[in-house]
Amino acid sequence: MALKSTIHKVDLSVADIDRGHYRDYSLTVARHPSETDERMMIRLLAFALNSQGAQEGQGALEFGRGLSTADEPDLWRRDLTGAIEQWIDVGLPDERAVRKACGRAREVYVLAYGGRAVDLWWQAVRDKLERQDRLAVSEVPMEASRALARLAQRSMRLHVTIQEGHVFVADTTDSVPVDILVLKTCSIVH
């Protein structure tokens, strides 16, 4: 018998002071049986970091089936025609899958985590991925990703503040500073 996903309810408040984006979201997040709290929280962080993109003519940022479907990202935004505007993966995705995503989406973003594993992954894929103009890659340091995992609950109320490039994630009792490290920027201007 297959294990079912665990459902998490999240009230997420985003205050992106840098971009003037302030919004509350009520999210339902399905955590795959093989997914850790750390990975789920990185997906929520990726949502908060990219939530400001819903502008005129763009669809909402949505959670993909991620781990359960190889052909879908962890998060994505499609326009009204169904074209993929933004493809977001967390973790250390396969280099071929990232290049394929760059061919399918207008913008691809990888939010890597895992400490030393990120360094080894980036060293192995950097030469091939550096040529992808539509790709941006960032890293969440291990201390921050593990601290975010400790915030995970079945029902969460999270506040994410982004100011002057610094990110803070807080629940009702704890606050986690997350200093995102940029490994590669997207070189296509939209």
| Domain range list for the chain | 6-184
DSSP H helices, the chain, are 37-50, 95-104, 116-129, 142-149
Q: What's the token pair of residue 106? A: 């207008």
Report the first-to-last Cα separation within the chain, whole angstroms: 46
With H, G, I as helix, E, B as strand and everything else as coil, classify residue 180: coil
Q: Are 45 and 180 in contact (CB under 8 A)?
A: no
Distance of CA 92 to the CA centre of its chain: 12
> How confident is the model at residue 58, as a pLDDT?
60
> How confident is the model at residue 66, as a pLDDT?
59
> How confident is the model at residue 149, as a pLDDT?
97
Q: CA–CA separation, 67 vs 83, rounded Å?
A: 21
> How confident is the model at residue 52, as a pLDDT?
79
Query: What architecture is the 6-184 domain classified under in CATH?
Result: Roll (3.10)
The ranges of the chain with pLDDT < 70 are: 1-2, 53-58, 66-70, 189-190
Q: CA–CA separation, 117 vs 146, rounded Å?
A: 14
> How confident is the model at residue 75, as a pLDDT?
94
Closest CA to 44 of 170, 181, 184: 170
> How confident is the model at residue 99, as a pLDDT?
96
